Amino acid sequence: MTMPLMRPKRKNPVLRTRQMNLPPGSRGRVALGMTAAAAEGRFELQTCEDCGTVQYPPREACHKCLSPRLHWRAQSGEGELLATTTLHHSNDLFFRERLPWRLGLVHLASGPTLMVHLHGEVGDAPSPVRVGARLDRAGQAVLIGFPKEGSAHMADDKMLREMTSDPKFRKALVTDGKTEVGQAIVRALVKAGADIVWVGHAEPWKKLGGLEDITALPQVTLVPLDLTNGRSVTELAGEIGGKVDIVINNAEVHRTFGIGARRGTDVAKAEMDINYFGFLRLAQEFGPALKGRSADGVTGATAWVNLLSIYALANYPPHGTFSASKAAAYSLAQCLRAEMRPAGIRVINVFPGPIDDEWNQHQPPPKLAPSALANAIVRALRDGVEDVYPGDVAQEWLERWRDNPKVLERELEK
């Protein structure tokens, strides 16, 4: 049984800050199919369309019938542990600093036999296990063997914590606390065990609804943060940048209408100033600090979360300029992910459908409750994924977009 994670001791400021060594990250193009699935929390293997064989490792052709008609299919992960071993020595820098490291050989019920990392609660062979895919610090898919039934403290496993960004005992910054979504995120982080939650407020002298409730929580501290003001971002980064483990950028300006229904560009500029340029200012100031602390003990800097929108994938004309600003932020988030990956910092993009807030009053149900969105963000941190699509509308929109983006574009015009 996994022992509960204890609150880490305060770091000795005299000791050096460890720098991140990444696990081996080289993968062929075919193998990246498994990484793409793991980035959204799925375990998929290649399945031959002609003979039905499930195979691993990934190949260009079926190892049984040589057919090239291979497709990635979700797997249950059910299997039997055949053998285990524990590494006490490694020439790889990443694993050498994290020894001992336990590995196992698992035969899946679907056919293939895999070498996997083993969760600490998995017993000796032979025993039933459940294999899942996770992203490692290099952003590549790895396979982990989990027990069939785990304890309440499974997430505290040392190896699993390396693969995820669990908020427990970590320090987080939520960039906007005045909205219902921001306040729900704060409550969800506190419930998840976050040590400190800094909550940004562009106008801290204003008394807004809900702020007093969250600031009454002992873990919460209100801080001045205006993403339209570069100096405000720089000053806050100078104060807490070296302490933040998780940045959650939920600040946004959301207005309705498209191009012809509103004169001028003032509203569109306001949306871009927060949704895109505000994100850019935040990344320029807090990004380097996170990269420098990514290996700083069991609660080192670990993740950056962007609240985007499903409208970033395909423009929704009734919210046209907002959709455009989120599409720009999505592109910037991909750049940030590439720059943060060498430090092992995970960039998580959240694509919700319409949220039950003031800007979606005329949108028919289903709409996403702020608390459901907040729980999805915490779950993404715990599961170590990169892309999240919370809500029924987002899931349907994603499926239609993947099937045919041009058809979706035409449908949204109606």
Q: DSSP readout, 276-321? A: THHHHHHHHHHHHHHHHTTTSSTT---EEEEE--GGGTS--GGGHH
CATH of the domain at 374: 3.40.50.720
Number of Cβ within 10 Å of residue 159's Cβ equals 15
Q: Does any domain span residue 398? A: yes
Both 303 and 391 in one domain: the answer is: yes
Averaged pLDDT in 10-residue chunks for the chain of 414 residues: 70 76 88 95 96 95 96 96 95 90 96 95 93 94 92 85 91 95 96 96 76 90 95 96 95 91 90 97 96 82 96 94 97 97 96 90 89 97 95 95 94 84
Both 259 and 382 in one domain: the answer is: yes
First-last CA distance in the chain: 56
Both 267 and 381 in one domain: the answer is: yes
Q: Does any domain span residue 7? A: no
Both 181 and 75 in one domain: the answer is: no
Q: Which two tokens stand for residue 274?
A: 């927060």
Both 333 and 406 in one domain: the answer is: yes
Q: Does any domain span residue 3? A: no
Q: How far is CA 296 from CA 12, 66, 87, 242, in A?
A: 11, 47, 23, 11
- Residue 224's φ and ψ, nearest 5 degrees, are -75, 125
Both 184 and 132 in one domain: the answer is: no
C-alpha 359/C-alpha 363 separation (Å) is 9
Q: Does any domain span residue 299? A: yes
Both 139 and 178 in one domain: the answer is: no
Identify the pLDDT of residue 211: 83
C-alpha 250/C-alpha 90 separation (Å) is 41
Q: What is the number of domains present in the chain?
A: 2
Both 257 and 280 in one domain: the answer is: yes
Identify the pLDDT of residue 13: 73
In three-state secondary structure terms, 134 is strand
Query: For residue 121, what are the domain limits?
Result: 32-159
C-alpha 380/C-alpha 402 separation (Å) is 21
Q: Does any domain span residue 189? A: yes
C-alpha 317/C-alpha 358 separation (Å) is 18
Q: DSSP readout, 361-389? A: TTSPSP-B-HHHHHHHHHHHHHHT-SEE-
Judge whether 274 and 252 are in contact, CB under 8 Å. Answer: yes
Both 259 and 195 in one domain: the answer is: yes
Q: Does any domain span residue 39? A: yes
Q: Does any domain span residue 27? A: no
Judge whether 215 and 199 are in contact, CB under 8 Å. Answer: yes
Both 243 and 264 in one domain: the answer is: yes
Identify the pLDDT of residue 194: 95
Q: Does any domain span residue 15? A: no
